[in-house]
Amino acid sequence: MTEKTAVKRTRSVTTEAMAERRQSILHYASQVISRSGVEGCSFAELSELSGFSIGMIQHYFRHRERLISATVEYRTEETMREWQRIYANGENALERLHDLLTFAVEGDTPFAEAWGFWLEIYAAAHKNAEIRDSVAEVLSTWRTLFVRALEEAIEERLLNPTADVDELATLFTAVIDGLAIQSLNNIHQSTPKTMIETLHRFAAREFGIDADEFIRNKRSKLVGVRSKGTP
């Protein structure tokens, strides 16, 4: 091995290690925000939870605003990667819609931590233009996921919704956020389990398909759907 090659490999490992350390800091930052809110996400609090020194955290993010923005981006990218894995396993668009609604509640991150984070971010967005812009991008991303799956389902002739695709995508994101608030705070005795069933039942009615079948079976009587005059 030449000296030049050895130096190149050393730099590569160092770069990877730095990227992993940055991701780890952001992971812990998302936990701090979920528990203590955006205002409670100080370098000192993050240092205590993560074990990284305040100096190390400052080295990567300089100031708190940059840390918060990077954490929102981190959680969005994590969500998209997880959804792509789920999407790839779907056999048809209706099944993907079923899984997308379920994924809004049940992901790799526990419900309370995941939605605790997003609700704290939503709350902070009201008074912080930078966070507000980040939230707008997140919601746009979620709408895009639904629009894509809905368009595929219509193209595959699996459903024929009464509302247009853009309106449905907006409704789904709004209903998901509203139900998450109720479930996180146990309002109306709502839980993540009941949230999933409510989402599936609501979606099935909008799709014009049998709700009980959609809840039990991802494919939801596809033959029956086609026979109802779907173009």
Mean pLDDT of 92-120: 92
Alpha carbon separation from 110 to 104, 113, 117 (Å, rounded): 11, 5, 11
Question: What pLDDT, on a 0 to 100 scale, did the predictor assign at position 213?
Answer: 86
Question: What pLDDT, on a 0 to 100 scale, did the predictor assign at position 179?
Answer: 96
Closest CA to 69 of 120, 4, 135, 22: 135
The residues near 85 (Cβ < 8 Å, ≥ 6 apart) are none
Provide, rounded to the nearest whole percent, the portion of the chain with pLDDT above 90.
Answer: 63
Question: What pLDDT, on a 0 to 100 scale, did the predictor assign at position 92?
Answer: 87
Around 205, how many Cα atoms within 13 Å sit in the side-chain half-sphere? Answer: 7
Question: What pLDDT, on a 0 to 100 scale, did the predictor assign at position 168?
Answer: 94
Question: What pLDDT, on a 0 to 100 scale, did the predictor assign at position 87?
Answer: 84
Closest CA to 204 of 159, 152, 146, 166: 159
pLDDT in tens, 28-78: 999 999 999 999 999 999 999 999 999 999 999 999 999 999 999 999 999
Question: Looking up tokens 């240092």, which residue turns up?
Answer: 47
What is the rounded distance in angstroms from the CA atom of residue 153 to the CA atom of residue 160?
A: 9
Torsions phi, psi for 102 (to 5 deg): -65, -40
Alpha carbon separation from 34 to 44, 82, 100 (Å, rounded): 16, 19, 22
Give the DSSP H/E element, type plus range, for residue 213: helix 211-216
Torsions phi, psi for 107 (to 5 deg): -125, -165
Torsions phi, psi for 209 (to 5 deg): -125, 170
**Could you tell me if 122 and 174 are in contact, meaning their C-beta atoms sit under 8 angstroms apart?**
no
Closest CA to 180 of 219, 140, 123: 123
Tell me the domain boundaries of the chain: 3-226
Q: Binning pLDDT at 50, 70 and 90, where does residue 90 land?
A: confident
pLDDT in tens, 217-229: 764 443 333 323 3
Torsions phi, psi for 19 (to 5 deg): -65, -40
- Rounded mean pLDDT of the chain? 86
Mean pLDDT of 94-121: 92
What is the rounded distance in angstroms from the CA atom of residue 94 to the CA atom of residue 172?
A: 15
pLDDT in tens, 7-30: 444 455 588 888 999 999 999 999
Architecture of the domain delimited by 3-226: Orthogonal Bundle (1.10)
Pick 132 or 7 by higher pLDDT. 132
Mean pLDDT of 85-109: 88
**Could you tell me if 176 and 184 are in contact, meaning their C-beta atoms sit under 8 angstroms apart?**
no
**Could you tell me if 149 and 89 are in contact, meaning their C-beta atoms sit under 8 angstroms apart?**
no
Question: What pLDDT, on a 0 to 100 scale, did the predictor assign at position 218?
Answer: 64
What is the rounded distance in angstroms from the CA atom of residue 94 to the CA atom of residue 159?
A: 8
Does the pLDDT at position 105 exceed 90?
yes
**Could you tell me if 49 and 36 are in contact, meaning their C-beta atoms sit under 8 angstroms apart?**
no
End-to-end CA distance of the chain: 65
pLDDT in tens, 181-211: 999 998 988 999 999 999 999 999 999 998 9
